[in-house]
Amino acid sequence: MIAEDQRVLSRNPLNAEPAPATLVSSFLTKNSDVYHRNHGEFVPLDAATYSLLLRSEVDAIKLNKSDFSLDDVKEFPKRDLVTVLSCAGNRRTEMDHEKEVEGLKWGMSAIANCHFAGTLLSDLLAAAGVTKASTPNARDLHIHFESTQDCEDDTYYAASLPLEMALDQARPTLLAYEMNHAALEPAHGFPLRVVVPGVIGARSVKWLERIIIRDHESDNFYQARDYKVLPPEATPETKADYLQKTPALHEFSLNSVICSPSDGETVEAESGNSAAIAVKGYAVGSNGTRIKSIEIAVVSLPVPVSSAPPPHPDLLPEIQSNEAYKIRVHATTLPAEAWTSARLNEGIHTSGAITAQDKHWGWTLFSAEVPLPETVRHLVELGVDGGVDVALVAYATDACGQRQELQTQWNLRGVAEASWSVVKCRLKHRSSS
């Protein structure tokens, strides 16, 4: 089930994302609006004959159960939560505009906020004899999630997490058999998938068939040679070397994204003091931390040359000469009154939205009517030919007081983009259209 307005990046395998404005139209993402990220064709698994294999290749860990039918998995207490599922390549197009990156050019919608239900991974492991207490060396061990799916770059799809992370009670990793109160759809991993809150989607293995504990991390292509934040000096020619030296990416960072208006959109503005732009978007905390505030400003374009950013020692020259970066830096010079605090919707009345320890793994939607700066308002009222170009800028602050990073370091694979959100639009006077 895929909505007609999803933008299809590839059909075989299926990769698609919804329109940004659709994405933020509801707190829970409808199944038809959930993005699709596949490195191979769907795996047709039969619930009746399905079996999940659990194995340990670590001598010190002996398991007392190794085979689970779907019914066995469902016998554990059913746990539910609302969590974001997000591809590490989300917002890749924005990084690509700064300097070319490799990979599918995702917009800002390779992310979904869904209700999942299933068995806690830690419950299943405990039943087999693996608990935090029984594995004092969990920090050095890894839990592998494997599917038999034939993929573009490997003969199967797999990912691993440090075992300690999988046993962390504060991060309820699920073996999910339900998404949005219905059986998992074939496209999203029927009958069972992993869902790791706060961690890039690549680790949430679909069509899960094997869980294996090992003393090393997965050497599957999608863990060892993809989804890594390479240093900015890595090039297509040198990347093989850097891939070996760069650790796997797991947790995503504090992020916020304006989804409406969309980049390049023409927006009609009223005249008078109440002239404002309606803005909508989503924000996600890192490590389940709640969002405290989203601040949004309207920046008149082009930004003045006098506010050109001072040279930055760590950012590539291409980034420093990029318009989005200049807009972000200019925004930091705006007075406090230029910023509007958005209304937040963190779905606290939705079942599973807040888990133990006040963790919030879902997204926070935000909306605001951001008043136009006086100078912009006058230009709009004058009916300047072609309209008035502005940029909307947003950043998030979380409940721990951490602020979203101004500018993400460019990396060849275009992953983990979390810069302050910048969306350019053109304002036209409502009556002059």
Ligand X SMILES: Nc1nc2c(c(=O)[nH]1)N[C@H]1C(S)=C(S)[C@@H](COP(=O)(O)O)O[C@H]1N2
Nearer to ligand X, 2 or 384 (CB): 2
Per rule CB under 6 A, is residue 355 in the interface with ligand X?
no
Residue 149 interacts with, from Mo ion, ligand X, none (CB under 5-8 Å by kind): ligand X
The single residue among 50, 106, 116, 157 that binds ligand X, judged by CB under 6 A, is 157
Per rule CB under 6 A, is residue 204 in the interface with ligand X?
yes
Closest distance of CB 227 from Mo ion, Å: 7
Per rule CB under 6 A, is residue 74 in the interface with ligand X?
no
Task: Kindly tell me the sign of the dihedral angle through the C-alpha atoms of 24, 25, 31, 35.
Answer: negative
Rounded Cα gap, residues 203 and 220, in angstroms: 11
Judged by CB under 5 A, the chain residues 266 through 295 that form the site for Mo ion are none
Closest distance of CB 106 from Mo ion, Å: 9
Nearer to ligand X, 252 or 410 (CB): 252
Rounded Cα gap, residues 393 and 410, in angstroms: 19
Closest distance of CB 112 from ligand X, Å: 6
Per rule CB under 6 A, is residue 223 in the interface with ligand X?
no
Per rule CB under 5 A, is residue 201 in the interface with Mo ion?
yes
> Which secondary-structure segment (H or E) carries 119?
strand 111-120
Per rule CB under 5 A, is residue 37 in the interface with Mo ion?
yes
Closest distance of CB 201 from ligand X, Å: 3
The single residue among 23, 58, 84, 85 that binds ligand X, judged by CB under 6 A, is 85
Residue 207 interacts with, from ligand X, Mo ion, none (CB under 5-8 Å by kind): ligand X
CA 244 to chain centre: 24
Closest distance of CB 132 from Mo ion, Å: 29
Show the CA angle centred on residue 151, arms to residues 172 and 54, nearest 5°. Answer: 40
The single residue among 19, 20, 33, 36 that binds ligand X, judged by CB under 6 A, is 36
Task: Point out which span in 52-60, 120-128, 199-207, 322-330 binds ligand X (CB under 6 A).
Answer: 199-207
The single residue among 27, 177, 207, 363 that binds ligand X, judged by CB under 6 A, is 207
Q: What is the DSSP string of 263-297?
A: TT-EEEE--STT-EEEEEEEEE-GGGPPEEEEEEE
Task: Point out which span in 19-27, 29-37, 118-126, 422-430 binds ligand X (CB under 6 A).
Answer: 29-37
Residue 39 interacts with, from Mo ion, ligand X, none (CB under 5-8 Å by kind): ligand X
Task: Point out which span in 65-73, 196-204, 242-250, 390-398 binds ligand X (CB under 6 A).
Answer: 196-204
Task: Point out which span in 85-93, 300-308, 365-373, 379-387 binds Mo ion (CB under 5 A).
Answer: 85-93
Q: Give bridge partners of residue 185 from the DSSP assignment.
A: none
The closest alpha carbon to 278, from 395, 369, 391, belongs to 369
Per rule CB under 6 A, is residue 364 in the interface with ligand X?
no
The single residue among 144, 206, 228, 429 that binds ligand X, judged by CB under 6 A, is 206
Per rule CB under 5 A, is residue 87 in the interface with Mo ion?
yes
Show the CA angle centred on residue 20, arms to residues 400 and 402, nearest 5°. Answer: 10
In Å, what is the CA distance from 58 to each residue of 67, 94, 138, 147, 243? 18, 43, 11, 20, 26
**Count, residues near ligand X per rule CB under 6 A:** 19
Q: Could you say which DSSP state residue 15 is in?
A: E
Per rule CB under 6 A, is residue 142 in the interface with ligand X?
no
Judged by CB under 5 A, the chain residues 368 through 397 that form the site for Mo ion are none
Show the CA angle centred on residue 114, arms to residues 108 and 118, nearest 5°. Answer: 140
Give me the torsion for CA of 170, 174, 180, 183, rounded to 10°. Answer: -160
The single residue among 87, 279, 368, 390 that binds ligand X, judged by CB under 6 A, is 87
CA 341 to chain centre: 23
Rounded Cα gap, residues 282 and 123, in angstroms: 32
Q: Could you say which DSSP state residue 202 is in?
A: G
The residue at minimum Cβ distance from ligand X is 201
Per rule CB under 6 A, is residue 35 in the interface with ligand X?
yes
> Which secondary-structure segment (H or E) carries 213?
strand 210-214
Rounded Cα gap, residues 253 and 275, in angstroms: 34
Contact 402, 289 (CB under 8 A): yes
The single residue among 159, 167, 202, 412 that binds Mo ion, judged by CB under 5 A, is 202
Rounded Cα gap, residues 202 and 224, in angstroms: 12
- Which residues make up the interface to Mo ion (CB under 5 A)? 37, 87, 201-202
Q: Which residues bind ligand X (CB under 6 A)?
A: 34-40, 85, 87, 147, 149, 157, 188, 201-202, 204-207
